[in-house]
């Protein structure tokens, strides 16, 4: 079947696929950048996004553990996406949620079950802190 690569911030608290993990199994996924592709005619042009400071950062994530039909335990995770900020939007309408350092402890705290407190974290990262450039693969 279809694989779920990411979860939308706007629906993560309601979707059956994600709502339990949203309340109980939150994680941070380290990164130093991400890519989005812009359609230009029949071509897709890759762009890279990173912090202007060059520092690593973390995405808001969820994880699950389930038993496959062959009885093996499968561990999965997903990155939460939100609407693009002004830097990402010319390339793509969505972006991964980057969790600022001040919100990381709250995001990981298993005692926090109030969806509104968690949803407040799932905002577009400030565009003035990101840099976009064509990717050179």
Question: Would you write out the chain's pLDDT as a tens digit for each of its 137 residues?
Answer: 456 678 999 999 999 999 999 999 999 999 999 999 999 899 999 999 999 999 999 999 999 998 999 999 999 999 999 999 999 999 999 999 999 999 999 999 999 999 999 999 999 999 999 999 999 87
State how beta strands 34-40 and 43-51 pair.
Answer: antiparallel
Q: What is the C-alpha to C-alpha distance for residues 92 and 6, in angstroms, rounded to an integer?
A: 15
pLDDT of residue 3: 62
pTM score: 0.92
- Token reading at 70: 């062959």
Length of the chain: 137
Residue-range domain boundaries for the chain: 6-134
pLDDT of residue 5: 74
Q: Fill in the DSSP letter of residue 100.
A: P
- Which of these CATH numbers, 3.30.10.20, 3.30.930.10, 2.60.40.10, 3.90.1680.10, describes 6-134? 3.90.1680.10
Q: What is the C-alpha to C-alpha distance for residues 126 and 60, in angstroms, rounded to an integer?
A: 15
pLDDT of residue 136: 86
pLDDT of residue 1: 45
Q: What is the C-alpha to C-alpha distance for residues 81 and 10, in angstroms, rounded to an integer?
A: 9
- Token reading at 88: 């990402």
């Amino acid at each position: 079947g279809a694989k779920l690569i990411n979860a939308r911030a706007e629906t993560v608290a309601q979707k059956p696929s994600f709502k339990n993990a949203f309340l109980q199994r939150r994680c941070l996924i380290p990164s130093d950048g991400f890519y989005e592709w812009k359609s230009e005619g029949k071509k897709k042009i890759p762009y890279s996004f990173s912090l202007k400071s060059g520092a690593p950062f973390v995405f808001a994530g969820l994880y699950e553990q389930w038993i496959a039909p062959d009885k093996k335990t499968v561990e999965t995770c997903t990155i939460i996406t939100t609407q693009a900020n002004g830097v990402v939007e010319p390339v793509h309408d969505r972006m991964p949620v980057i969790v600022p350092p001040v919100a990381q402890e709250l995001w990981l705290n298993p005692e926090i079950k109030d969806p509104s407190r968690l949803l407040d974290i799932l905002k577009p990262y400030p565009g003035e802190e990101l840099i976009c450039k064509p990717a050179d693969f």
